[in-house]
Amino acid sequence: MQLTKRLGLLAAAAALTATTAVFAAPTYINVLTGGTSGVYYPIGVAISQLYGQIDDARPSVQATKASVENLNLLQAGRGELAFALGDSVADAWNGVEDAGFKAPLKRLRAIAGTYNNYIQVVASAESGIKTLEDLKGKRISVGAPKSGTELNARAIFAAAGLSYDDMRRVEFLPYAESVELIKNRQLDATLQSSGLGMAAIRDLASTMPVNFVAIPAEVVQKIDNAAYQPGVIPAGTYDGQDEDVPTVGITNILVSHDKVDEEVAYQMTKLIFDNLDALGNAHAAAKAIKLESAAENLPIPLHPGAERFYREAGVLE
């Protein structure tokens, strides 16, 4: 009788173990992006759809204020993958308080360098703004306060010998709201940091005549940050833009944190590079993502899972 009871208890324990295995805890993968009218969001949605292939994964997408908020959320464990500008990632790692980081964010780990953001300064043609100097006395929006875009604006204006005090009015608004105010003649210009072909600027350029303001290479060279490199908005990127526009290019980085499981991070990285065509279909900016350069010149350590993928792919020794 005692033996029968013991066997019954063992059988019940085995059944409980099997049931627990079947109902394993899900793996939540929250992808932190930016505003819904920017480039991070559609690419983030496409990535989250790919992550549905990971066993027990529960992917989701969160629209945010982009780089600075994303990095702080990752440090707090409130996301598993985030888009961020390279200069913001470096500032986060080093704890640059003026950039929005009260302490060094040492939990951050890189997944991949992706495509460049380009600083795009666009003004209504009727404002007469054609150069950075022309922004003096005008009304401009520079992105949400201490967002990656707004930090870019501060750096570029300082290099050009300008400050917010030179402007008639400065608004701190995201892409879509900035464009709407230009359409309504309530703003003269906006500075946006985004991939090429950004929806809000496409909308503006198709609605009214606009000027794209050049950021000359000599201004870029005065910015004391290696993340800022000379770039070009190619002619024809937007309606009415018939010439190349010199500007600033800044690498975007996909970032995770050290509490994300190595195997999950490996799968997250692999799915991105196995499906680059799908990401390019989500937004043309993603067509610039290249496996060969994804692990180069990163300001933070690679996640061990991402590092394993790159070694297997032959792009890291």
**Contact at 8 Å (CB) between 102 and 130?**
no
Question: Looking at the predicted structure, is the pLDDT value of residue 195 above 70?
Answer: yes
Percent of the chain with pLDDT over 70: 92
Segment 171-195 shows an average pLDDT of 95
Place of tokens 């019954």: 8
Nearest Cα neighbor of 163 from 128, 137, 182 is 137
Question: Looking at the predicted structure, is the pLDDT value of residue 16 above 50?
Answer: no
Phi, psi of 126 (to 5 degrees): -70, -15
d(CA 70, CA 46): 18
The pLDDT tens digits for 214-230 are 999 999 999 988 889 99
Question: Looking at the predicted structure, is the pLDDT value of residue 12 above 60?
Answer: no
For residue 61, CA distances in Å to 58, 74, 83 come to: 10, 14, 11
Q: Residue 48, CB half-sphere, CA atoms under 13 Å: how many? A: 23
| CA 182 from centre of chain | 24
Query: What's the mean pLDDT when you consider all of the chain?
Result: 92
**For residue 208, what pLDDT band results from cuts at 50, 70 and 90?**
very high
Segment 285-295 shows an average pLDDT of 96
Segment 253-257 shows an average pLDDT of 98
The pLDDT tens digits for 26-85 are 999 999 999 898 899 999 999 999 999 999 999 999 999 999 999 999 999 999 999 999
**Contact at 8 Å (CB) between 176 and 200?**
yes
For residue 152, CA distances in Å to 145, 214, 224, 238 come to: 11, 15, 12, 22
Question: pLDDT value at position 152?
Answer: 93
Question: pLDDT value at position 144?
Answer: 84
Q: What is the DSSP secondary-structure string of 110-146?
A: EEEEEEEEEEEEEEEGGGT--SSGGGTT-EEE--STT
Phi, psi of 44 (to 5 degrees): -60, -40
Question: Looking at the predicted structure, is the pLDDT value of residue 250 above 80?
Answer: yes
Question: Looking at the predicted structure, is the pLDDT value of residue 19 above 50?
Answer: no
Number of H helices, E strands in the chain: 11, 10
Q: Residue 72, CB half-sphere, CA atoms under 13 Å: how many? A: 17
Question: pLDDT value at position 253?
Answer: 97
Torsion of CA 141, 30, 70, 261, to 10 degrees: -160
Question: pLDDT value at position 147?
Answer: 84
> pTM score, two decimals?
0.82
DSSP 46: H
